[in-house]
A and B are shown apart, each in its own frame.
Chain A
Amino acid sequence: MNARIPSGTRDVLPEERAELRSIENALLSVFSESGYGEVSTPTVEFEETLQRAGGAAAPVSYRVLGEPGEDLALRSDMTVPIARLASSRYRDAELPLRFSYVAPAYRAITAHRGRAREFLQAGVELIGAEAPASCAEALSLLCRALDASGLKNFYVGIGDAGLYPALLEACGVDGVASEAVLRELGDRDFVGIDRELAALELSSDDAAMLARVPRMRGPGVLTDQLEQPLEQSLSAIREVVDTLESAVAARMIPDLGRSPRMGYYTGLVFEVYDPELGEPIASGGLYGELLGRFGMPVSGVGFAIDLDLLHAAIAGEERGETGR
């Protein structure tokens, strides 16, 4: 009898599980040394709770049949459940709060595209600490954790979800027009961005600046001399990168084209890239409003590392070293 499992799910056998376990342990011990206590939350929650984020990093995709009258769903990330946990169990606790986790999350996929429906994440949430110090702490921790996992050649793309909307506003673009440009930015469709900008009545300086910014990325962004209001808009990224120790700062790739359309992130956002993989291994950022939706009006910053992707990148780097 050969019973099937759904596309996008898999069994993990001892050889792979042992490798994953050692990565998990390396990450968790760094988290724990830095004062992040490990938590677990239920795999199923009330759908209303998960939807309260108003758009998570990945949409909630699986609803579960519970008792009549119960609308349950599988979490699509751990940030929302931890926001719920913090607001209900630590409402009067002294801030900041530091939590870590290793847990699966669930998302809809296109079958047979190699994407996991159930994916294992390791991450942290730092709740109620002041930016930019909170962001610097999260980025340093992220780099230390990845170092400990054995990953070598990674970089962290760092952007600001509020940057481009603020520039549009400074140039007098708002409402529907702003939405249209931001939609193209969300898809990173530069042809579309140029088309939408061309449809607006902008001074040629503003038009050139708005077309240039989404393409600006790389270490040079922070050292080049920039005009206002661009220079001012960079301050959120700059003040975080400036406080990082040099080994961590060297891994940062400022990226001014990050879109605000990423769920609950409202400020600094970051992603981890490794030359071995065509997609980001980890992502995170600052969320200013999520906790407020649970009655705890403070901001948080966190990140989640996709363990399967991290494992693949480590394996890829090892293959590269032994010579392909």
Chain B
Amino acid sequence: MNRFGLTIAVPRGALLSGSLDLLDKALIDTSEIRANDRKLFFADVGVVTMRPSDVPTYVEAGAADVGITGKDVLMEHPERQVFELADLGFGECQIVVASEHGPDKAAAALARLGVMRIATKYPRIAAEYFERSGRQAEIVTVNGSVELAPLTGLADAIVDLTASGLTLQENGLVVREEIATVTARLVANRVAHRLKAVGIEEFASLISAAPDAQATEA
């Protein structure tokens, strides 16, 4: 266990190295986590690693006291009752609508057929976004390689996360609309937030002590 007395959920994938850098700032030894990408539970330092989308699940249930995950995950799962403590400022991405280069097939589909097909890993964010703008969208949920969907005719456009736009570009897709800018967030279990207040405040202030994170659209 770490000196804060907290079990910390850390996301694997794109947010891992930024998260571990912050744990270093809090003087938590991350060398074993960095060296070992198969092990999931590091009891000595109170860290559990998992997919970013599982972080709110563990934190809500109290299996982890605090966790780091993307704002995109929190937006997709508003039913998870976790407290959002801080914008950690790293891992900045955009949630965008993208479609194939050239005339926008999604706009054409909407104009001619009154509805467009959207492939996404974020069915809730996508559905709410198009509903808000009064457009009919049929949401097709896929679990990975969303860029494939417009290329194969599964969908007219996609809603996905992009940092550099490189993957979109390599697959011949262009950004049509930006839905939100998201960054990594620190979340806490609501009981731990009260019962482990001292440890959580200390941990939070150490890892978010960076120069003020830019205000982001959330």
Give the interface of A toward B (CB within 8 A). Answer: 110, 155, 157, 187-192, 195, 198, 215, 217-218, 253, 255, 273-275, 277-280
Interface residues of B: mostly helix, strand, loop or mixed?
A: mixed
Nearest first, the 9 A-B pairs at minimum CB distance are A278-B62, A188-B83, A218-B197, A189-B84, A273-B191, A191-B87, A278-B61, A157-B194, A217-B197
B209 located at the interface, meaning its Cβ lies under 8 Å from any Cβ of chain A in the complex:
no
Partner of B86, one of A191, A195, A198, A218: A191
Contacts of A253 in B (CB 8 A): 194-195, 197
A273 touches B194 (CB 8 A): yes
A280 touches B87 (CB 8 A): no
Q: Chain B residue with minimal CB distance to A254? A: B194
The answer to whether A277 and B62 touch (CB under 8 A), given A188-B83, A190-B85, A190-B86, is: yes
The answer to whether A198 and B84 touch (CB under 8 A), given A279-B190, A279-B191, is: no
B170 located at the interface, meaning its Cβ lies under 8 Å from any Cβ of chain A in the complex:
no
The answer to whether A195 and B191 touch (CB under 8 A), given A190-B83, A217-B197, A278-B61, is: no
Report the tally of A-B residue pairs with Cβ distances under 8 A. 59
Q: Chain B residue with minimal CB distance to A187? A: B84
**B57 CB → nearest A CB, Å:** 10
A198 touches B191 (CB 8 A): no
**A145 CB → nearest B CB, Å:** 20
Partner of B191, one of A110, A188, A280: A280
B185 touches A191 (CB 8 A): yes
A155 touches B83 (CB 8 A): no
Contacts of B69 in A (CB 8 A): none
The answer to whether A110 and B79 touch (CB under 8 A), given A192-B84, A278-B60, is: yes
A279–B81 Cα distance when bound, in Å, is 9
**B89 CB → nearest A CB, Å:** 11
* B contact residues, range: 20 to 34
Give the interface of B toward A (CB within 8 A). Answer: 60-63, 79, 81, 83-87, 185, 189-195, 197-198, 201, 215, 218
Q: Chain B residue with minimal CB distance to A273? A: B191
A109–B83 Cα distance when bound, in Å, is 20
Contacts of A279 in B (CB 8 A): 62, 81, 190-191
A152–B90 Cα distance when bound, in Å, is 41
**A168 CB → nearest B CB, Å:** 20
Contacts of A195 in B (CB 8 A): 215, 218
The answer to whether A278 and B83 touch (CB under 8 A), given A198-B215, A217-B197, is: no
**A59 CB → nearest B CB, Å:** 14
**A293 CB → nearest B CB, Å:** 28
B83 touches A275 (CB 8 A): no
Contacts of A187 in B (CB 8 A): 84
